[in-house]
Chain A
Amino acid sequence: MSTSQMVMYDEEFQEINAVIERLLKDSNSKVIFLVDKNGQLISGVGETERFDTTSLASLTAGNIAATGGLAKLIGEKEFSILFHEGEKDNLHISIVGGRVILVVLFDNRSSLGLVRLRVKKSSEELSTIFEKLMKKSEEQAKSGNSSFPFAEITDDDIDNLFS
């Protein structure tokens, strides 16, 4: 397989949320999302209930994938930052640690400069956490640790989902 499976544990989840909560305050933004490059929402803080987070995650990943394709066409590795300016709200989208997408939604109470500055600092912290997470899940996979809940499921469990 081309990429390893993404696994999230409680400990790292708390750490990640602490970083993006702080970023939310420091950058004076409205909502922050973390999305996996495949379009799965990892976490979100701020006024998340106002948004369709699942759709947002999928479209963000599509957006990053499309601009990544464009980048390759002109000989760039990727475009690591995207900025979308609206009448009221703006989106700052950046790639963290090569595999996760950080989405910051902000309005005129903040500014692009401030968001960029704060995102840069938080990205480094997030990269470290995700690196740790990747190592941890690789080790778990190698050791054949069966804390994985699906190891014991039965055919009946699966059939029940569709009943």
Chain B
Amino acid sequence: MKAEYVNPFLEAVINILGEFGIEGIKRGNIFKKDRFYVSMDITSVIGLIGDIRGNISYSLSQETAKNIVSAMMMGMHIEQMDDMARSAIGELANMITGKAAVLLEKKGVDVDITAPSVIFGKDIYMIISSVEAICVELNTPFGIMEVGIGLEI
């Protein structure tokens, strides 16, 4: 998978988290997997249809999620991942993927994004596309966000 299609998603994460005052995000490990194992508590998945078909997954621990949602809610203390917090995590995935879609559009690639599905659970074995997904670890001040990019291109 070409880097030019992967980078918009990583840039979008940095950009959107930046809007909530979360800075200093760094790329960590990158690996390719067709079936990947998720050890984090929460994974949001969004689909893409149009010039590119695919699915993008965003995985975080519950602690990281609570801290990010807190930043999204102007510093409100998040005790647990209730309905509102879950909705916020889904919305975060939506915003990131939407931003990536805008960046792709500037390269002449038009995609439509679908609604997020948010999965809670550990020890998950997941496949998001028929080609190997590129899994990127992003180190945020609140912990790691693993981004799975499964684009059928």
Is chain B found bound to chain A in the same assembly?
no
Chain B residues with a Cβ under 8 A of chain A: none
